[in-house]
Amino acid sequence: MKSLIIQTIKKALEKKKIKISDEEIEKHLEAPPSADLGDYAFPCFFLSGIMKQDPKRIALIIRETIGNIPAELEDIQTEGPYVNFFLNRKDLASSVIDTILKQKDAYGKANMGNDKVMIEFSQANTHKAFHVGHIRGTSLGESLARILEFCGNKVIRANYQGDSGMHVAKWIWCYKKYHSREKIKNDESWIASIYVDAVERLAKGEKLQEEVDIVNKSLEGGKNKELVELWKKTRKLSLDAFEKIYKELNTHFDFYFFEKDMEKDATRIVEDLLAKKIAILSDGAAIMDLKKHNLGVWVLLRKDKTVLYSAKDLALAERKFNQYKIDRSIYVVGAEQKLHLHQLFKTLELAGFPQAKKCEYVPVSEVRFPWGKMSSRTGDNVLYSELIKQVADFAKKGIKKRTKKISDKELEGRALKISIAAIKYSMLKQNPNRNIIFKKEEAMNFEGDTGPYLLYSYTRASSILKKSKAKISSKSKNLEQKEIELIKELSKFPEITINAKKALDPSVIANYSYHLAQVFNEFYHSCQVLNSENEAFRVSLVASFEQVLKNSLYLLGIEVLDKM
Partner RNA sequence: GCCCGGGUAGCUCAGCCUGGAUAGAGCACCUGCCUUCUACGAAGAAAUUCGAGGCGAGCAGGGGGUCGCAGGUUCGAAUCCUGUCUCGGGCGCCA
Tell me which residues in 30-49 interact with RNA (CB under 7 A): 30, 32-34, 37-38, 41, 43, 45-46, 48-49
Strands 359-364 and 328-334: parallel
Asked if residue 563 binds RNA (CB under 7 A), the reply is yes
CB of 154 to RNA, least distance (A): 25
Exposed, middle or buried by CB within 10 Å (0-12, 13-18, 19+), for 342?
Answer: middle
238 binds RNA (CB under 7 A): no
Cβ-based nearer residue to RNA, 45 or 178: 45
Please report which residue ranges of 429-534 form alpha helices under DSSP H.
440-443, 451-467, 481-491, 493-503, 507-526
String marking each residue 297-316 x if it binds RNA according to CB under 7 A: x-x--xx----xxx------
Instruction: For residue 394, give every residue at least 6 positions away whose Cβ sits within 8 Å of its Cβ, in sequence order, or none.
Output: 419, 444, 446
Site residues (CB under 7 A) for RNA, limited to 267-286 = 282-285
**Amino acid making up residue 507:** S
322 makes contact with RNA (CB under 7 A): no
Residue 162 touching RNA (CB under 7 A): yes
CB 62 within 8 A of CB 77: no
Question: Taking the complex as a whole, how short is the minimal distance between the CB of residue 223 and RNA, in angstroms?
Answer: 19
Query: Which CB, 155 or 524, lies closer to RNA?
Result: 524
Of 335 and 350, which has the nearer Cβ to RNA?
Answer: 335
Q: Measuring CA to CA, which residue among 395, 430, 432, 427 is closest to residue 414? A: 395
Q: Check binding of 435 to RNA (CB under 7 A).
A: yes
- Amino acid (one-letter) located at 333: V
Q: How far is the CB of 89 from RNA (least distance, A)?
A: 16
* Beta carbon nearer to RNA, 106 or 280: 280
* Binding of residue 521 to RNA (CB under 7 A): yes
* Contact between 394 and 452 (Cβ < 8 Å): no
Rounded Cα distance, 416 and 311, in Å: 40
Judge contact between 59 and 46, C-beta under 8 A. no
Q: Are 494 and 454 in contact (CB under 8 A)?
A: no
Asked if 113 is part of the footprint of RNA (rule: CB under 7 A), the reply reads: no
Shortest distance, CB of residue 389 to RNA, whole angstroms? Answer: 16
Residue 60 CA to residue 533 CA, distance in Å, equals 40
Does the footprint of RNA cover residue 294 (CB under 7 A)?
yes
Q: How far apart are CB 236 and RNA at their closest, in Å?
A: 18
Binding of RNA by 522 (CB under 7 A): yes
Is residue 65 a contact point for RNA (CB under 7 A)? no
Nearer to RNA, 119 or 529 (CB): 529
* Site membership for RNA, residue 352 (CB under 7 A): no
Q: Estimate to the nearest angstrom the gap between the alpha carbon of 421 and the chain centroid.
A: 13
Q: Tell me the window of 114-122, 239-247, 383-391, 520-528 that interacts with RNA (CB under 7 A).
A: 520-528
Q: What SS3 state is found at 116? A: strand
481 binds RNA (CB under 7 A): no
Give the shortest CB-251-to-RNA separation in angstroms. 19
Output 59 or 330, the one with its CB closest to RNA. 59
Choosing from 296, 324, 379, 411, the residue that interacts with RNA (CB under 7 A) is 296
Site stretch for RNA (CB under 7 A), options 101-109, 146-154, 451-459, 547-555: 451-459
- Three-state SS string over 332-389 comes to EEEHHHHHHHHHHHHHHHHCCCHHHHHEEEEEECCEEECCECCCCCCCCCCEHHHHHH
Q: Is 401 a binder of RNA (CB under 7 A)?
A: yes
Write down the least CB distance from residue 378 to RNA, Å: 12
Residues between 244 and 263 with contacts to RNA, criterion CB under 7 A: 259
**Angstrom distance (rounded) from CA 545 to CA 529:** 13
Q: What share of the chain is helix, strand, coil (3-state, %, to 5)?
A: 60, 15, 30
Mapping DSSP onto H, E and C, the string for 32-68 reads: CCCHHHCCEEEECCCHHHHHCCCHHHHHHHHHHHHCC
Binds RNA by CB under 7 A, chosen from 131, 134, 167, 260: 167
Q: Does 514 bind RNA (CB under 7 A)?
A: yes
- Work out the angle between the directed axes of helices 384-402 and 132-150 (0-180°, nearest 10): 70
Nearest to RNA of 155, 542 (CB atom):
542
Number of residues that bind RNA (CB under 7 A): 102
What's the closest the beta carbon of residue 341 comes to RNA, in angstroms?
Answer: 10
**Smallest Cα–Cα separation from 169: which of 253, 83, 230?**
230
206 binds RNA (CB under 7 A): no
The verdict on 205 binding RNA (CB under 7 A) reads no
- Say whether residue 335 binds RNA (CB under 7 A): yes
Under the binding rule (CB under 7 A), the answer on residue 166 touching RNA is yes
- 452 is an interface residue for RNA by CB under 7 A: yes
373 near RNA, judged by CB under 7 A? yes
**Smallest gap from residue 434 Cβ to RNA (A):** 5
Distance (Å, rounded) from C-alpha 232 to C-alpha 219? 11
